Structure 1
Amino acid sequence: MTSHQALTQAPIQGLTFKLPDSDSVQSDAATQILTEPAIAFLSALVSRFGPEVDTLLAQRERDQQAYDKGQLPDFDPATQDIRDGEWQVADIPADLLKRRLEITGPVDRKMVINALNADVDVFMADFEDAQSPTWNGLIEGQLNLRDANLGTISHHDSERGKHYELKPDPALLIARVRGLHLPEKHITWQGKAIPGALMDFSLYLWHNHVARAERGTGVYFYLPKLQHSREAAWWSEVFTFSEDHLGLARGTIRATVLIETLPAVFQMHEILHALRHHIVALNCGRWDYIFSYIKTLRAHAEYVLPDRQVVTMDKPFLNAYSRLLIATCHRRKALAMGGMAAFIPSKDSADNEQILAKVKADKEREFANGHDGTWIAHPGLAPTVKAVYQQHLGDADNQLGQLREQDGEMTQADLLAPCSGERTEQGMRANIRVSLQYIAAWLSGKGCVPIYGLMEDAATAEISRTSIWQWITHAQKLADGRTVTRELFNQLLEEEVAVVRAEVGDSRWQAERFELAVKLFGELTVAEQLSEFLTLPGYQQLD
C-alpha cells in the first residue's frame, strides 16, 4: 500500500499528487484506495487516453462557435448509414434488464447504505452532479463503494445513536463518473491535471472488478454529458483497453449514457453504435438537457426559455426528446431510461398529496411513452412510482418491444421547438435563492442538497444562472413589461441575499461560504461570455 505521506513526496508511475491536509481517517481512505497497483492502472489510462480529452474538448468549443455564428444542432448527413443500418447493441446482461426504478445520490457512506437498502432496482452512486468533488469526498466515496461491493459497508452515527448496514439483496450498484470537462487538480501527469473521469473510472474498476466477478456480475457505469459519438468512441477504447489490461472478458464493463446535452440528442444512434459492445441504455438526463439547450442556443433569441418552473416534460421539445430516445434505444435493443423526480415527501399530508400527484403524473407520462425505467431522488417516492410502472409493465422487466412506430420521423424542428411560457420576477427570484443555497453547499463539500422540497444537484444551479444570463443577453421582457437587465438582476440579487440569509441564519451563512457563493453566482450571471460550467471556477475553491 502507498501511504498518504508518500504520495506527496515524489511522482509515482508518472503521476504527481498534490493533496490537501487530511486527518487520520481521510489518510487511511487514501492509503486503501491509492495503492501502487491502482495508481499504475490509473497512470496507464491517463498516459494513453488523457491527451485525447483535450482534443475532444477543443472540438466541443469549435462546435459551439458554429452555433454562436448561426448554425443549429442537427442530424449529421455523414452518418446517415449508421442511422439507417440494421444493427443492435450487444445483448444486455440479465441483471441489467430490470431497471424499472433507480435512485440516485452522492457517494457519502450513510447515503450509499440507505440508497442500496431502498425499495428500488438500482442505485446510481454519483461522483458527478450530486457530489461536490472535494478530494476527501471522492476518495472516501471510492472506499464506500468498494465496501458496498464487498457487502461489508456499515456506518455508525454517534450523534444520533443509529447504526446503518446493508440489508439482504440490496439494489444493483452503478457508478456515475465525472464528465470529460472536469479535471482532477490533485493529480497531474506531465504537469497537467488529469481528467476526473479517468480517476473515477479507473479506481472504481480496479477495486471492484474482482468482487463483482465473484458475484457473477460485471462492472457498470453511467457516463454523463457526452456531446458527440466521437466521445463515445473514446470511452469504447478506454473500456476495451481496460478489459484487456485486467484480463476481463469483453463486455464485462457496461455503460448507460446520459443524453443530457442538446448536441447528443442528434447523435443517439451514433453513440449507441460507437459503444455497441459495452452499452446497455440511454437515459433522459432532462435537467442538464434543459441547461444544455440554453447554453447551446445561447446566441439564438428565438429559443430563449421561460421560467424554469414551467419548462416541464410536456413541452414539445422535451416530449420529442423523450420519445425519440425511446424509439432509438428500442430499435437497437438498448434500454431507454427516464428522468429524475427530484421531489422530497412532505410531512404535511395535504402538501404530500400534491407532491405525489405530480410524481405520479410525470411517471405515467414516461412509462406510457415507453420508458423502461425512471429515477427518483428520495426513497419515499418509491411506492408511488412502483404503482405506476406495475400498471404499465405488469410483471415485465422492461418495454423493449415498444418501438413508437406511430411517431414517424422526428425532425430537427421537433427537437428544437421554442418553449412557451412567461418570464417573471418571481421566477428570477426563485432562481437566485435556490442557486445561492446550492452553490454555498457545494463549495462546502455537499453536492446533493434539499432546498424548498426538492433534492437539488448541480443541474439546478446551472439552469438557474444560465436562464437569467440568457434573459439579460437578449433583453427579454418580464410578464410585467420590464426588461431584464444587469441592473435589475443585481437589485434582485441584493434583495434575495437578505432573504436567504434570514432563512438560513448567520451561523450557517458563515459556515457554508455563502459570501463566496454570492460572488461566484453574481459574476457568472452578468458576464459578457457565458461560462460553460459553474463547477469549473467553483472547483478552484475546493480542497
Structure 2
Amino acid sequence: MAHIDIPYYLDFLPQSLLQECNTRAKAIPNVPGLSLAPGIREQFPNVETDDALRFVVQLYEETKDELNQVLVKRQEDRAFMDQETLQCLEENKDVPYLSPDYQTVLGRKDQTGRLVAGPLPPQETWTKVDIPASMEGEQVTLFGPPDSPQMAINAMNALHRKLPNEPAIVTELVEESGQVPRWGADNEDSMTPTPQNIIGANQNLIGCYDRTLTFTDEARGKHYALAEEKLSKPIKRIPGLALPDGNHLYHGNPLPLHILDFGLQLFHNWQHPEALVFYVPKLENEEEATYLKRFIERAERTIKELHPAYQMGSIRLFIVFENPRAIFRIREIAEALAPYFVGGSLGWHDFLASAARLFKFDPNYRIPVKADPNIVINHIKESHLLLAEALTPIGGIKIGGMYGILYEDGNEHSFEVCMVGYIKDVIVQLKRGLDGFWVAHPNFVRMGLAIVQAWRRQEQTPGDDTLDRLIKALVPTPSEQEPLLNFVHSKDAPGLEHDDPLYLRGVLAADLEVSDVIPNDHPDEVRYNIFQALQYLADWLRGNGCVALPALMHDASGAPVFVRIMDDLATTERSRWELWAELFHKRVSHETFETLLQEEIDFIKSGAQTPTKRVQIFWNEQTERWYPIAIKLLKQLVMREEPVEFATELLIPFTLDIIRDAEDPWKRACELCPGHYQE
C-alpha cells in the first residue's frame, strides 16, 4: 500500500478498502499518479478532462502537507476537549448546572498556552471586507443540491416561480425590490457524494454559468430551460476539509473532496466571476482558515498561469459558522481569509450537533429538542447577534440559518401554519441585524423577498403598514394572524449580556436544562429522532441527500397540522447526537431504545398513515436493500460508547460502486472494512 499522505482519512476509508479501490481504479495516462474508479470519465468526459484533473492534483500536491497538519491538530484538539470535559465533571461536583461556577471546556488552554475553544482577546484593527457588486443586496438564499439538471434549473429560475394564488402585494414587493435570489448550490450536506452526484453537479453548474443547461423529462413530456433574465446567483457549497474521495486516487491516496470540487469549479468557470463565490462549511478556527487562504492563493496562481486573463483576487468565500469553536472566532477567521472573505452564515443544525459533540461527556448538557418549533427564536439569538456584531463593523455579509419547513401540497391550513413559522423566522433574523437567510424550497423565495422588502419599507418609514398588509395576505385566518402580528411588533426574545457568566454557553445554546417543550428522553422525542433519521439514512444510501420528511406543527389553537421538513445530513447528525447522549448518560436504556427502534421499523415497513404520522421514504423495491443498512448504521451511531466524529465516517464507503453495486452492500462493506462496522 502506498504512503498515506493524510492518515485522518483512514477514519472514512479504511486501508483495506483503499487497497481494493486502488486495485480496481483505472490509471489516467496523461495525469501521472492519478487513477479513477471505472466509468467516471466515460460518464463525464467534459468535466473530468486531463487538464482539469491535472489542475486538481497540482493543488493537492501543493497543499496536502498543510492539510494533514490541520486535520492532525483537529484530532489533538478533540482529545484535549474531551479530557477537559471529563476533568470538569470532577470540578463540578455539587455545582448546579446554571451556576456561574459551573466549569466547561470553554476558555481552557492546552499545554502550549493555546486557547482551544472560546473567544480570543480582541485585536485593535481588522481588514474591511470587499463585497463584489454582484453580491450586494438582499441575501434571500434558496439552498439545495445541483445534482440534477431539473433541480438546478428550478433553482436558477426561482424568482419566476409564482404560486397560482400569489397575493398581489407579494408581486408588487418583489418587483419593487429589484432583487434576485441567491442559490446555495450545495455539494455538501444536501448531497450523497457519489461521483455521479458530485461530478454531475459540476456539469450542471457549468451549464448554469454559460446558460446552456436544459433538460427534458420524457416521461412527463416536460422541457426545462433557464429563464432569459433575473436568474438566481449560484454560490456553491463545497465539502468540508474532513471528507476524502475514494473514487479519485493519487498515488494511492484519496483526493480531498473539497480540493476536487473546488478545483473543478475554478478550472471550468474561471472566466465567470459570479462562479467564484463559495460557501465553505465546518471550519473550526483561524488556523484552518489560514490553510484555506493559502490553498486559494495557490489555486489562483495556478489558474493565472494557465489563463493570463484571469483576474487575481476574484474568489470570494462565505464561511458557514456551524461549529462551537468557529462561532467565537468569526472576525479572526475573516481576518485570516482576507481579502477572500465576503461574509458568513449560520448552519444551526450542524451548530447544535457539534455543540452536543463538544459537551458529549457532560451529563447535564441538553441539546435543544428537535420538536421545539421556536429554536431559532429562543436558542440561536446569541449566535445571530455575535455574527452581526463581528461582521457589521468590517462590512461583511451576515446570513442566518435555514427555514426548512414545507407545507403539504393542496393543504391550505398547512400552508398557513408554515407561513406563520416562516414569517417569524425571517422577522427575527432581520431584527437581529442579519442580511438574509436560507430557505429549502423555491416556493418560498418570492415570499421571502417580499417580507424583506416590506421590512425595509418599515425601516425607512416608521408606521408604514406594508408588512402588516403582507402578513394578512399570507395568513388570512384571524386566529393565526393576530398572534403573528403581535409577535412581529413585539420585542425580540430576551438574551444574555456579554458579561453574563453564562454568555459563552448561551451562544452555544448550552445553558438549558430539561426542555419545557418535551424532555430529550421522552419516548415521543426519541421516536421522532429515530423515525426521521432512519428514513433519511435510507434515502441517503439510495443516493438522495436532501429529503422532505413528514412532521407535525401546531396551529394557534394547538391542533396538529401536517408539514414536511427538509432534512439533510446536518439534521440527522443532530438527531443522532441527541439520541447518543440520552443513551450514553443512561436517561434512555438500550432496551427502551431497541423497543422504540423496532416499533418505528415496523411502522415504516407497514407504510402506515395515521392522522398524526406518515411515512415518506417507503420500504419498497428501491429502498429494501438500504433500510437494513440504515438500521445498522443508526444503531452504531447512537449506541457506541465512543461514537464516530461524523456520520460520514460510516457512510462514505457506501458512496463507492465497489460496495453500492454489491449483491449485499453491508456484507461487502464489512469485508472491505474489517472492524469499521459492528454486525
Deviations 1:158-216 (A, max 9, x none): 11111111012211111110011110111122322111000000001100112x15xxx
- Map 1:171-320 to 2 at 5 A: 171-210=232-271, 212-213=272-273, 217=274, 219-247=276-304, 248-310=310-372, 312-316=375-379, 318-320=380-382
- Deviation, 1:506, is 4.3
The one-letter amino acid paired with 2:219 is E
2:426 alignment counterpart: 363
The one-letter amino acid paired with 2:251 is Q
Q: Aligned partners of 2:423 and 2:605: how far apart in 1?
A: 34
The one-letter amino acid paired with 1:418 is D
2:157 alignment counterpart: 117
Q: What SS does the corresponding residue of 1:501 show, helix, strand or coil?
A: helix
- Deviation, 1:344, is 1.5
Q: What SS does the corresponding residue of 2:438 show, helix, strand or coil?
A: strand
Within the alignment, does 1:19 sit opposite 2:76 as a pair?
no
Q: Aligned partners of 2:390 and 2:398: how far apart in 1?
A: 9
The one-letter amino acid paired with 1:269 is R
Q: Aligned partners of 2:368 and 2:341: how far apart in 1?
A: 35
How many pairs align? Answer: 514
Q: Aligned partners of 2:389 and 2:647: how far apart in 1?
A: 33
Deviations 1:387-439 (A, max 9, x none): 32113334999xxxxxxxx9863742432442240222111111111111111
Q: What SS does the corresponding residue of 1:32 show, helix, strand or coil?
A: coil
1:3 alignment counterpart: none
Conserved? CA contact 1:315–1:419, under 8 Å: no
Q: What SS does the corresponding residue of 1:303 show, helix, strand or coil?
A: coil
Within the alignment, does 1:415 sit opposite 2:493 as a pair?
no
Within the alignment, does 1:169 sit opposite 2:259 as a pair?
no
Conserved? CA contact 1:45–1:238, under 8 Å: yes
The one-letter amino acid paired with 1:380 is N
- Deviation, 1:20, is 4.1
- Map 1:327-338 to 2 at 5 A: 327-338=389-400
Q: What SS does the corresponding residue of 1:302 show, helix, strand or coil?
A: coil
- Deviation, 1:227, is 0.7
The one-letter amino acid paired with 2:354 is S
Compared with structure 1, are the counterparts of its residues 413 and 344 closer, same or farther at alpha carbon in structure 2 (3 Å cutoff)? closer
Conserved? CA contact 2:27–2:33, under 8 Å: no
Conserved? CA contact 1:251–1:277, under 8 Å: yes
- Deviation, 1:218, is 5.8
Q: Aligned partners of 1:78 and 1:506: how far apart in 2?
A: 50
Within the alignment, does 1:443 sit opposite 2:547 as a pair?
no
- Map 1:80-119 to 2 at 5 A: 83-107=122-146, 108-119=148-159
- Map 1:494-505 to 2 at 5 A: 494-503=598-607, 504-505=617-618
- RMSD (Å), alpha carbons: 2.4
Q: What SS does the corresponding residue of 1:88 show, helix, strand or coil?
A: coil
Runs of 5+ in structure 2 lacking a partner?
1-23, 86-104, 160-179, 305-309, 461-494, 551-563, 608-616, 658-679
1:433 alignment counterpart: 531
- Map 1:24-39 to 2 at 5 A: 27-29=42-44, 31-39=45-53
Conserved? CA contact 1:116–1:170, under 8 Å: yes
- Deviation, 1:528, is 1.0
Conserved? CA contact 2:35–2:250, under 8 Å: no
Q: Aligned partners of 2:143 and 2:349: how far apart in 1?
A: 14
Within the alignment, does 1:532 sit opposite 2:532 as a pair?
no
Within the alignment, does 1:464 sit opposite 2:558 as a pair?
no
- Deviation, 1:81, is 8.1
Compared with structure 1, are the counterparts of its residues 184 and 506 closer, same or farther at alpha carbon in structure 2 (3 Å cutoff)? closer
- Deviation, 1:278, is 0.3
**TM-score normalised by structure 1 residue count:** 0.89
Q: Aligned partners of 1:274 and 1:395: how far apart in 2?
A: 37
More divergent stretch after superposition (88-97 vs 521-530): 88-97
Compared with structure 1, are the counterparts of its residues 207 and 396 closer, same or farther at alpha carbon in structure 2 (3 Å cutoff)? farther
2:199 alignment counterpart: 139
More divergent stretch after superposition (515-524 vs 199-208): 515-524
Pick from 617, 633, 637: which aligns with 1:520? 633
**TM-score normalised by structure 2 residue count:** 0.72
Compared with structure 1, are the counterparts of its residues 446 and 15 closer, same or farther at alpha carbon in structure 2 (3 Å cutoff)? farther
The one-letter amino acid paired with 2:217 is D
Conserved? CA contact 1:448–1:457, under 8 Å: yes
Compared with structure 1, are the counterparts of its residues 510 and 378 closer, same or farther at alpha carbon in structure 2 (3 Å cutoff)? closer
Q: Aligned partners of 2:441 and 2:33: how far apart in 1?
A: 39
- Deviation, 1:345, is 2.5
Q: Aligned partners of 2:25 and 2:38: how far apart in 1?
A: 11
Q: Aligned partners of 2:139 and 2:625: how far apart in 1?
A: 37
Q: What SS does the corresponding residue of 1:84 show, helix, strand or coil?
A: coil
CA radius of gyration, larger in: 2
2:54 alignment counterpart: 40
- Deviation, 1:27, is 2.2
2:465 alignment counterpart: none
Within the alignment, does 1:344 sit opposite 2:377 as a pair?
no
- Deviation, 1:522, is 1.2
Q: Aligned partners of 2:36 and 2:496: how far apart in 1?
A: 53
Q: What SS does the corresponding residue of 1:260 show, helix, strand or coil?
A: coil
The one-letter amino acid paired with 1:539 is I
The one-letter amino acid paired with 2:542 is S
